Amino acid sequence: MGPPTDTIVAPCTAVTGGALAVIRLSGHDAVCIFKRLVAHGGRKTATLRDWSATRTVLTEPETGINLDDVVVTLFRAPRSYTGEDVVEISCHSGRATVERLVGALLSAGARAAEPGEFTYRAYRNGKMDLAAAESVGDQIAALTGEAARAATDLRLGALRGTLADVRAALVSALVQVEAAISFPDEAPDLDAQAVEGHVRDAAAILERLVASARSGALLRQGARVVLAGPPNAGKSSLFNALAGCARAIVSPHPGTTRDLIESTIDLDGYPLTLVDTAGIRDTEVEVERTGVELAMAAAASADLVVRLHDAAHSAADDGDVPVTTSVLHVISRCDLACPGSLERLAGHLPEGALRVSSASGEGIAELQRAIVRALGGNRQAAGSAILTRERHRVEAATALGACRRTLGALAAGVEPDLMAVDLHDALRALDRLTGVGVADEVLERIFAEFCVGK
Ligand SMILES: Nc1nc2c(ncn2[C@@H]2O[C@H](COP(=O)(O)OP(=O)(O)OP(=O)(O)O)[C@@H](O)[C@H]2O)c(=O)[nH]1
Ligand SMILES: [Mg+2]
């Protein structure tokens, strides 16, 4: 990231067929640079008012050629997204119009913003903590309403409030421990019970947060769910039933599907990529064999394999579906089963194999719930803090580990000095979570994930 004093510019909207685009200028000279483009006879920038929108025409300063008529909104520091002077230009959309305007602003003295630089400046200027800054990217990338909601909650401080409670409890414990260290003669003996109470309070919240991390990551990143099994077991039919549309070809001929077919679905708010595959069997047909290889590779790298066993065949097939992760066994086409065959098939499978029929809809809702459960999904109430990133989980787990060591030390009657070391460790981990004392390389990595304009 460049020095935080220069003025940066970038389009904040993607190039789409939409009507409008927004270009953002941020920095000490934002108003001055913008002013150079205001057309002669247009409204002068001096008349722009803070937090108000004004219509004006922008021109190329050297030639006077019109660039666009725009609506501009001024946000004076520090009451802006970045905490600096910000000028937001709503112009007409389209690559050429936006490029001409950005080009003119660059010629007028702005520098092209790097990826994530607006949000980086907002973080640096104390407009948001690091977890909130990270959630800006999450909100933009969210594929389901639930993922967007979690990102909004995070940005609006759901985690900040919870971490403040943890911090308050740890500080209360530390005050007592430090008093016993600093003034061993004057201070009363360490009130171990009070310290334990505070540390247990902190640990209980941290435990809940760490436990939320798997579900939080699933909400943010989604997962790949691969349907695999023998030919004609009903994989494509189940794929279509779960995707809610007739996306994959279904036919009574075994060996119909050869390519991998993907669809992103919203299952209880979690964005899952569902993959239909070729039926796995030995075959001399070259195209089908390639399909089987693709299916095997997809199953091997899946987050979850839904392994179909055809109820129309009473014996378990011996198709060799590779399973390196979790697997859900499903008895498919169960409406076609002969009397007793379901039981016989289930006898060959691990306990709890689900029975489904894409034709009748039987077991589909149960399968949907089982998929979410198997992936660790566990929805939290709106507004309650969850961890959505591995970075957050590591820091919360570090703080929790330090709390547990403190509780162990209390139980063992260890000197307070050692407890103070652990409590400080816990507080430092909380700081890093919200962005205090984070190494520059880590910050660079976090903001490099953003695109230009965020
Ligand atoms: N009665 C009944 N028929 C089904 C069910 N699911 C699929 N079928 C039928 O079974 C046949 C095979 O279904 P597909 O979904 O194409 O099976 P597949 O596993 O994708 O087959 P391949 O792509 O060839 O491996 C088709 O005729 C479907 O209509 C079901 O639940 N009940
Ligand atoms: Mg198929």
CATH assignment at residue 86? 3.30.1360.120
Q: How far apart are CA 256 and CA 264, in angstroms?
A: 22
Q: How far apart are CA 25 and CA 453, in angstroms?
A: 10
Q: What is the mean pLDDT of residues 329-351?
A: 88
How many C-beta atoms lie closer than 10 Å to residue 418's C-beta? 14
7 touches ligand 1 (CB under 6 Å) = no
Q: Is residue 421 domain-shared with residue 281, that is, in the same domain?
A: yes
Calculate how far, in angstroms, residue 281's C-alpha sits from the geometric centre of ligand 1.
16
Q: Is residue 118 domain-shared with residue 193, that is, in the same domain?
A: no
Q: Tell which of 129, 156, 175 closes a domain.
A: 129
367 touches ligand 1 (CB under 6 Å) = no
> CA geometry: angle at 138 spanning 385 and 274, to 5°?
100
Residue of 236, 290, 321 to mutate, ligand 1, most atoms within 8 A of C-beta: 236
Query: Residue 143 pLDDT > 60, yes or no?
Result: yes
Smallest CA-to-CA distance from 135 within 429, 433, 452, 379 is with: 433
Query: Residue 437 pLDDT > 90, yes or no?
Result: no
- Domain span at residue 348 reads 136-434
Residue of 250, 258, 288, 289 to mutate, ligand 1, most atoms within 8 A of C-beta: 250
355 touches ligand 1 (CB under 6 Å) = no
Q: Is residue 69 domain-shared with residue 183, that is, in the same domain?
A: no
Considering the domain boundaries, does residue 47 fall inside one?
A: yes
Query: Residue 168 pLDDT > 90, yes or no?
Result: yes
Yes or no: say if 227 and 239 are a contact pair by the CB < 8 Å rule.
Answer: yes
Phi-psi region of 376 (alpha: psi -120 to 50; beta: other; left: phi over 0): left
- Proximal ligand: closest to the CA of 229: 1
Q: What is the mean pLDDT of residues 346-360?
A: 91
Task: Kindly report the pTM of this predicted structure.
Answer: 0.85
Q: Count how many domains the chain has.
A: 2
Q: Is residue 142 domain-shared with residue 124, that is, in the same domain?
A: no
Query: Residue 318 pLDDT > 70, yes or no?
Result: no
Q: How far apart are CA 389 and CA 35, in angstroms?
A: 42
Q: Is residue 327 domain-shared with residue 416, that is, in the same domain?
A: yes
Give, using CA atoms, the residue closest to atom 4 of ligand 1: 333
Which pLDDT value is given to residue 452? 74
Yes or no: say if 110 and 116 are a contact pair by the CB < 8 Å rule.
Answer: no
336 touches ligand 1 (CB under 6 Å) = yes
Q: Is residue 21 domain-shared with residue 158, that is, in the same domain?
A: no
Model pLDDT for residues 179-217, shown as the tens digit of each residue = 888 766 665 677 889 999 999 999 999 999 999 999 999
Q: Is residue 364 domain-shared with residue 297, that is, in the same domain?
A: yes
Q: What is the mean pLDDT of residues 78-96?
A: 95
Q: Is residue 148 domain-shared with residue 267, that is, in the same domain?
A: yes
Q: Is residue 343 domain-shared with residue 364, that is, in the same domain?
A: yes
Q: Cβ-count burial of 370 within 10 angstroms (0-12 exposed, 13-18 middle, 19+ buried)? A: middle
Q: Is residue 176 domain-shared with residue 220, that is, in the same domain?
A: yes
Q: Is residue 262 domain-shared with residue 381, that is, in the same domain?
A: yes
Considering the domain boundaries, does residue 311 fall inside one?
A: yes
Q: Is residue 173 domain-shared with residue 111, that is, in the same domain?
A: no
